[in-house]
């Protein structure tokens, strides 16, 4: 439906006495998202767009999209955008911000992009304390290429390249890159959130807002991990996938702040890994 | 800084030209024999003076992608490296070409393959002008043969890069990089103001004002028919470069029976060999390539019509010779002479090669 | 006039800076110059050498394999470069540490005991300028005033107070050089 049609239909409904409860954020474009229904990318996009809108920084924001499911993120955000080679978004963002210190720069990456092929760029951008916002969507799998093992795939979890489940002796451990970068002095704010229910969405939005506010205050690097399901890659319905994520991803990737205002949060053990956690059955 | 007469290394000349030509950013990673580029920039601290950003990256992979990020905001951004580092950058180069981002890359070549040697070589010709990365793309490639050209070509690079929205490669080698020669510096060109940036790079991603659609820098096009159209556009751009931006130098070619074809430091050695040949009464000329892409195909073909033989001199196993043969349609006896692996041929060897391979 | 020179010795003997001061002096006198060093691991405590060309005409190759003059400061360099001097050319060497004297009969050979003299006078830091003085005595290809300018441009400003000492060393070298074999 064209934009004008949408506006006309909306007006018609309002005239009939309906109340507007939900509307598209102006920082998102009218392009129809290609994400699978139920996937966390769409919600995460919306939260970032809302924050940009609410902070009034649309004209100063430059985003960097990865290679992976969110490669086309530039089509959905109505801000200037660069599309990076696989894993290199933090390098692009480093230069964008250093050459244009008045802009707000954010990267948007998945687990394969940020924690496998782009590990070096991730760690060094974090370690330099670049004054940028990094958004990391972790669904434990390579979604776009068809569900292969990611660095964050859980032990025992099935994927196209671990058809009998991930084995430590063969594939090593799931990489908790968020905990890892939290130990670097260059990171100022490190948190893990999720978007599977309204309460989680509200917390995730607050985290993204904080990450952008930190950039405004020139505090250094803010890093927000968003746990997401990959219902098509996991071969589940969206509802099952969210349940599975809560039961299996969250024990390994606990939700909450890891580092706030440059200080590790008390009682957060960044070395902890739930290796003994038995997976609930995957379909 | 105003015009001055200096004695300077080629690598230092590159760095000083970057500052003087209004470059906004440099991102690099140390590698012999070009580390003086970043060392000079760090010592000069241009961020205090012109506002130029200089950063040592964690790898060449990162530095070329920093070039991508910075240059895609419509600023003049450069990097430099040597052969193994340039190999690591190939992914970035094809993305830069594919996203049509103007920028400057300097390769101070050393011998390969692999880690090879740190001594001068010219064995990256194919990598520079025949792809290197994937896809149909070209880098405008300048081959300086003196310290003065190392300096001047940085200024020229920015003109071409922004005129065509294309990466420019300065292909040098360890000999020119490490050599000190006389250099006339130029008056400083200030870095672009915000208004100039917006005028010269309206496609840049610096933050979307309310009065324009968002700018997107990408090399992705999932729709094949549109990707083909885009590829035609790139090819048209390269064709225009071939038409308008070819550069070369001819010395003593008018009456020459034989010519050397060479670029960079090999052309200097060939020039000495030419002088030695002329002293012996052999009429030798030198056709020096300045642009490797676009290759001076027509101009070389014209010269080749009246010579008896061509000796291609290159510090490689014979790469440039393929383009020389294409230019002349193999219509004249053409041979290669080169040393490689970091060995620089002597003028005497070059002259002997001419006598043994061509004249005999 | 074209003078093609190789200066060779141990790293740390001031080989590269001697070449640079000579080349910069040439620039100041509006000559064409080139300065081409050996570089890389061989310089770490090993031998160092630099080719310097000073000419009235455009210089073709900065990389050369025969020389009008070889200035030699250790045995390895003598072994390496004695045969690269053009017939009728000039070889200057410091006898310090030399165990095998040069044997060519078709070149001019001079020696300059710069190491010993510099130690004696306590001016080891400007040893290389003593050697340069010896060379300039035999081949005055750049004028004294331009040497001064060359020193100014080669040395950082904080070391300009050392220029008189460098110039004195050059004068000492001029008096120190002695013929071994002249054609």
CA atoms lying within 13 Å on the CB side of residue C150: 27
Q: Are residues B106 and B12 in the same domain?
A: yes
Q: Is C35 on the interface with B (CB under 8 A)?
A: yes
Q: How far is CA B127 from CA B116, B344, C31, in A?
A: 16, 20, 37
Q: Which of residues 67-126 of B touch A (CB under 8 A)?
A: 67-73, 75, 77, 91-92, 95, 99
Q: State the smallest CA–CA distance between residue B73 and chain A in angstroms.
A: 7
Q: Are residues B189 and B258 in the same domain?
A: no
- Between CA A41 and CA A110 the distance in angstroms is 10
Residue with tokens 């607050």: A206
Strands C32-37 and C47-55: antiparallel
Structural domain that includes position C81: 2-181
Is residue B217 domain-resident?
Answer: no
Q: State the smallest CA–CA distance between residue C7 and chain B in angstroms.
A: 15
Contact B129, B248 (CB under 8 A): no
Mutating which of A58, A72, A95 best tests the B interface, going by the most B Cβ atoms within 10 A?
A: A95
Helix axes A198-216 and A40-55, enclosed angle (nearest 10): 40
Could you report the predicted ipTM of this complex, rounded to two decimals? 0.93
Is residue B240 domain-resident?
Answer: no
Task: Write phi, then psi, for A159 (nearest 5 degrees).
Answer: -150, 175
The gap from C-alpha B7 to its chain's centroid, in whole angstroms, comes to 22
Contact B105, B170 (CB under 8 A): yes
Contact A93, A105 (CB under 8 A): yes
Q: Are residues B153 and B272 in the same domain?
A: no
Q: The domain that contains C62 carries what CATH number? A: 3.40.920.10
User: Which secondary structure element, helix H or strand E, spans residue C89, and what is its range?
Assistant: strand C85-93
Structural domain that includes position B99: 5-196
Q: Which residue of B has its CA nearest to C64?
A: B346
DSSP conformation letters of A241-273: HHHHIIIIIHHHS--EEEEETTEEPTT--TT--
For chain B, the distance separating the N- and C-terminal CA atoms, rounded to the nearest angstrom, is 54
Domain A29-263 belongs to what architecture?
3-Layer(aba) Sandwich (3.40)
Within 8 A of A72 by CB-CB distance, chain B residues are 220
Contact B270, B244 (CB under 8 A): no
- Between CA C127 and CA A228 the distance in angstroms is 71
Q: How far is CA A249 from CA A192, A245, B73, B162, C40, in A?
A: 12, 5, 38, 48, 52
Q: State the smallest CA–CA distance between residue B153 and chain C in angstroms.
A: 19
Q: Which residue of A has its CA nearest to B73?
A: A96
Tokens for C2? 């074209």
The gap from C-alpha B358 to its chain's centroid, in whole angstroms, comes to 29
Is residue B107 domain-resident?
Answer: yes
Interchain CB distance below 8 Å, B33 and C40: yes
Strands A263-264 and A256-260: antiparallel
Residue A278: its pLDDT value, please? 67
Helix axes B90-98 and B60-71, enclosed angle (nearest 10): 20
Residues sharing a CB contact under 8 Å with residue A95, sequence separation 6 or more, in sequence order: B25, B27, B53, B55, B65, B66, B67, B68, B69, B70, B71, B77
Residue A10: its pLDDT value, please? 86
Q: State the smallest CA–CA distance between residue C179 and chain B in angstroms.
A: 31
Contact B303, B248 (CB under 8 A): no
Q: Is the pTM of this model over 0.90?
A: yes
* CB neighbour class for B28 (10 Å; exposed up to 12, middle 13-18, buried from 19): buried
Please state the domain count of chain B.
2
DSSP conformation letters of B219-254: -----HHHHHHHHHHHHHHHHHHHHH---EEEES-T
Interchain CB distance below 8 Å, B5 and C27: yes
User: Closest Cα partner for C147 from C138, C155, C158, C156?
Assistant: C155
- Between CA B186 and CA B151 the distance in angstroms is 9
Task: Encode pLDDT of B166-186 as tens digits.
Answer: 999 999 999 999 999 999 999
Round the CA-based radius of gyration of chain A to a whole number and report it: 19
Every domain of chain A and the residues it spans: 29-263
Residue with tokens 């229904």: A37
Q: How far is CA B259 from CA A166, B226, B256, B286, in A?
A: 65, 45, 7, 5
Q: B310: helix, coil or strand?
A: strand
Residue A276: its pLDDT value, please? 62
CA atoms lying within 13 Å on the CB side of residue B345: 30
Interchain CB distance below 8 Å, C63 and B118: no
- Between CA A94 and CA B70 the distance in angstroms is 8
Interchain CB distance below 8 Å, C36 and B175: yes
Domain edge (last residue) among B179, B196, B213: B196
Interchain CB distance below 8 Å, A121 and B65: yes
Contact B260, B270 (CB under 8 A): yes
Q: Are residues B146 and B37 in the same domain?
A: yes
Q: State the smallest CA–CA distance between residue C35 and chain B in angstroms.
A: 5
Task: Write phi, then psi, for C109 (nearest 5 degrees).
Answer: -125, 130
Q: B122: helix, coil or strand?
A: coil
Q: The domain that contains B300 carries what CATH number? A: 3.40.50.920
Per-residue pLDDT of chain B (360 residues; tens, 9 = 90+): 457 899 999 999 999 999 999 999 999 999 999 999 999 999 999 999 999 999 999 999 999 999 999 999 999 999 999 999 999 999 999 999 999 999 999 999 999 999 999 999 999 999 999 989 999 999 999 999 999 999 999 999 999 999 999 999 999 999 999 999 999 999 999 999 999 999 999 999 999 999 999 999 999 999 999 999 999 999 999 999 999 999 999 999 999 999 999 999 999 999 999 999 999 999 999 999 999 999 999 999 999 999 999 999 999 999 999 999 999 999 999 999 999 988 999 999 999 999 999 998
Please state the domain count of chain C.
1
């Amino acid at each position: 439906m064209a934009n004008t049609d949408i506006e006309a239909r909306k007006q018609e409904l309002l005239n009939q006495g309906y109340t507007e409860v939900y509307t598209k954020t102006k920082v998102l474009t009218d392009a129809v998202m290609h994400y699978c229904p139920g996937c966390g990318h769409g919600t995460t996009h919306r939260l970032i767009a809302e924050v940009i809108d609410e902070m009034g920084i649309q004209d100063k924001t430059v985003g960097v999209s990865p290679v992976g499911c969110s490669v086309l993120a530039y089509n959905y955000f109505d801000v200037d955008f660069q599309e990076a080679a696989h894993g290199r978004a933090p390098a692009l963002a480093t230069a964008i911000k250093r050459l244009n210190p008045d802009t707000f720069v954010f990267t948007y990456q998945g687990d394969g992009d940020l924690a496998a092929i782009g590990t070096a760029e991730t760690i060094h951008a974090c370690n330099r304390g670049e004054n940028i916002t990094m958004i990391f969507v972790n669904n434990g799998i390579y979604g776009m290429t068809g569900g292969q093992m990611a660095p964050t795939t859980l032990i025992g979890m099935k994927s196209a390249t671990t058809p009998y489940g991930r084995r430590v002796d063969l594939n090593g451990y799931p990489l908790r890159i968020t905990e890892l970068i939290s130990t670097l002095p260059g990171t100022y704010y490190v948190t893990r959130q999720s978007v599977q229910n309204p309460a989680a969405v509200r917390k995730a939005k607050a985290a993204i807002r904080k990450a952008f506010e930190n950039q405004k205050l020139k505090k250094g690097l803010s890093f927000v991990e968003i746990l997401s399901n990959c219902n098509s890659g996991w071969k589940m319905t969206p509802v099952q996938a969210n349940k599975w994520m809560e039961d299996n991803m969250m024990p390994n990737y606990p939700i909450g702040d890891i580092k706030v205002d440059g200080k590790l949060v008390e009682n957060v053990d960044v070395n902890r890994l739930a290796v003994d956690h038995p997976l609930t059955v995957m379909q | 800084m105003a015009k001055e007469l200096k004695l300077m290394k080629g690598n230092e000349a590159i760095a000083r030209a970057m500052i003087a030509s209004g470059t906004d950013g440099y991102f690099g990673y140390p590698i012999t024999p070009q580390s003086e580029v970043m060392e000079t920039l760090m010592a000069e601290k241009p961020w205090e003076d012109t506002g130029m950003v200089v950063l040592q990256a964690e790898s060449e992979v990162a530095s070329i992608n920093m070039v991508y990020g910075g240059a895609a905001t419509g600023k003049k951004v450069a990097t430099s490296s040597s052969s193994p580092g340039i190999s690591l950058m190939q992914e970035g180069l094809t993305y830069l070409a594919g996203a049509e981002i103007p920028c400057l890359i300097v390769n101070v070549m050393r011998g390969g393959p692999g880690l090879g040697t740190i001594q001068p070589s010219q064995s990256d010709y194919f990598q520079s002008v025949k792809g290197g990365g994937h896809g149909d793309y070209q880098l405008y490639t300048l081959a300086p043969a003196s310290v003065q050209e190392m300096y001047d070509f940085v200024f020229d690079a920015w003109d071409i890069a922004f005129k065509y929205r294309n990466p420019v490669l300065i292909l040098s080698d360890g000999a020119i990089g490490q050599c000190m020669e006389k250099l006339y510096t130029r008056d400083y060109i200030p870095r672009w103001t915000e208004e100039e940036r917006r005028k010269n790079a309206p496609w840049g991603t610096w933050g979307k004002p309310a009065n324009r659609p968002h700018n997107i820098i990408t090399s992705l096009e999932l729709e094949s028919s549109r990707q083909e159209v885009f590829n035609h556009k790139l090819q048209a751009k390269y064709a225009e470069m071939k038409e308008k931006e070819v550069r070369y130098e001819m010395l003593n070619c008018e009456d020459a029976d034989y010519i050397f074809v060479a670029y960079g430091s090999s052309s200097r050695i060939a020039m000495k060999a030419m002088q030695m040949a002329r002293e012996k009464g052999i009429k030798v000329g030198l056709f020096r390539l300045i642009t490797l892409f676009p290759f001076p195909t027509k101009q070389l073909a014209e010269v080749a019509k009246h010579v008896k033989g061509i000796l291609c001199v290159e510090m490689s196993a014979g790469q440039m010779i393929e383009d020389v043969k294409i230019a002349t349609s193999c219509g004249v006896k053409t041979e290669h002479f080169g040393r490689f692996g970091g060995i620089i041929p002597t003028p005497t060897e070059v002259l002997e090669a001419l006598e043994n391979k061509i004249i005999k | 006039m074209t003078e093609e020179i190789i200066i060779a010795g141990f790293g740390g003997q001031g080989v590269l800076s001697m070449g640079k001061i000579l080349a910069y002096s040439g620039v100041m006198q509006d000559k064409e110059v080139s300065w081409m060093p050996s570089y890389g691991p061989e310089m770490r405590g090993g031998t160092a050498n630099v080719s310097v060309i000073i000419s009235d005409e455009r210089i073709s190759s900065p990389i050369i394999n025969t020389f009008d003059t070889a200035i030699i400061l250790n045995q390895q360099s003598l072994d390496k470069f004695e045969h690269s001097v053009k017939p009728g050319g000039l070889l200057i060497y410091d006898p310090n540490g030399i165990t095998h004297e040069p044997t060519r009969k078709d070149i001019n050979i001079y020696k300059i005991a710069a190491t010993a003299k510099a130690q004696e006078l306590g001016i080891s830091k400007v040893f290389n300028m003593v050697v340069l003085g010896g060379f300039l005595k035999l081949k005055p290809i750049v004028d004294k005033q331009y040497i001064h300018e060359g020193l100014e441009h080669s040395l950082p400003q904080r070391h300009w107070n050392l220029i008189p000492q460098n110039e004195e060393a050059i004068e000492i070298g001029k008096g120190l050089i002695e013929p071994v074999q002249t054609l």
